[in-house]
Amino acid sequence: MGMCFLRGWKGVLGRKLFVFATILFAASIVYFYIDIPLKLNTGVTEEGPTYNDIYTYDETTTIENKPVQRFDKPFNKSSNDVIVFVHIQKTAGTTFEKFLVRYQQSLPCKCQAHKKRCNCGRNASNETWLFSRYSTGWVCGLHADFTELVVNSCVERVLDKQAGHKKKRNYFYTTFLRNPTDRFISEFRHVQRGATWISSKHVCDGRPASVNDLPTCFDPRIGWEGVSLEEFISCPYNLAFNRQTRMLSNLSLVGCYEHLRKPSYEQDKIMMDSAKMNLRNMAFFGIKERMDDSQFYFENTFDMKFSRKMSVWGKSKSNDTVLTESQLAYIQNVNKLDWELYEYAVKLFDERVSLLRQKQRMRG
């Protein structure tokens, strides 16, 4: 009797194990044939995105399922349109942002003495038309880049939170660029004076970069004040290298900051193509070396006139930096991505300014 019970118990257990194994095998088949292709089609793999899997952009492609704003859509001052400024360090961005809040009256901002931020609310709703350092503040992080502002939807989340509900808006992205060598030297001098931007979040794929993701070039407790040029250019994790390209690209496409630890031609190409595409689709971008043309470009794109000339305010404090020929050559080489982007930007800038001047002449 006991032996029969034991054999019966084993039989039931065996059948249950067989059923469980069958279900597990079927689930693995479904996972392999369904889930894996979905991951490849969305550019997500266990080892991160690859060029062939995900980078097939054209003029109408979206980034992370988010539409890229077209630059040729007119800005509506009385609607839900918002100007978003991507502030890249040492590109005259501070000058431009100050002009937006203090020296234009088309959509005046209310500024108070001794306060950096101004109220750029529009109409009775008081919802801002400007997302920038001197209006909303660094709400997406200090010098937040394209990945943080757009890909991670920070701008949209912040404005929805301020409004108290989700709202459809048109975002007009803007930025400023600068001669890469001059910009790099200016950043070096700024860091030498004590700046570090250590509080920047560097959010990518929904999370801030860790120390393992992005090692620092200095002891955060001490800073980098007084750093020599040789030390500054010797740190492989120095974010001053190709800063403009990196801050205008979608870093999710290259595994966030993996390109700093394992640089490759493929990753450089992905970042470059992404930065160029995002630049093309910006409503406006200025060139520091062309401040008068930049002001003309902005004023005629947004129908906003500044009461002062930006060229008077955009002077550099780093023109007296002395470099050897080898140092200059090295700086140009390590910023080769920024040089490619800058040369592309200048050509695109010339085309847009020329087109605006033609339209101005046609209007008489």
Q: CB of 248 within 8 A of CB of 223?
A: no
Q: Output 64-68 pairs: Cβ under 8 A, ≥24 positions apart.
A: 64/151, 64/250, 64/252, 66/150, 66/151, 66/153, 68/277, 68/278, 68/281
Longest dimension (CA), the chain: 109
Of 3, 76, 23, residue with least CA distance to 283: 76
Q: What amino acid positions are annotated as catalytic residues?
A: 143
How far, in Å, are 70, 287, 299, 309, 341 from residue 360 at the CA level? Answer: 22, 21, 12, 19, 28
Q: CB of 170 within 8 A of CB of 73?
A: yes
Q: How far apart are CA 354 and CA 70, in angstroms?
A: 19
Q: How far apart are CA 291 and CA 241, in angstroms?
A: 24
Q: How far apart are CA 245 and CA 267, in angstroms?
A: 12
Q: Is 180 exposed, middle or buried (0-12, 13-18, 19+ CB in 10 A)?
A: buried
Helix, strand, coil share of the chain (percent; to 5): 50, 10, 45
How are strands ordered across the β-sheet holding 284-287? 130-131, 81-86, 170-177, 284-287
Residues whose CB falls within 8 Å of the CB of residue 8, separated by 6 or more in sequence, listed in order: none
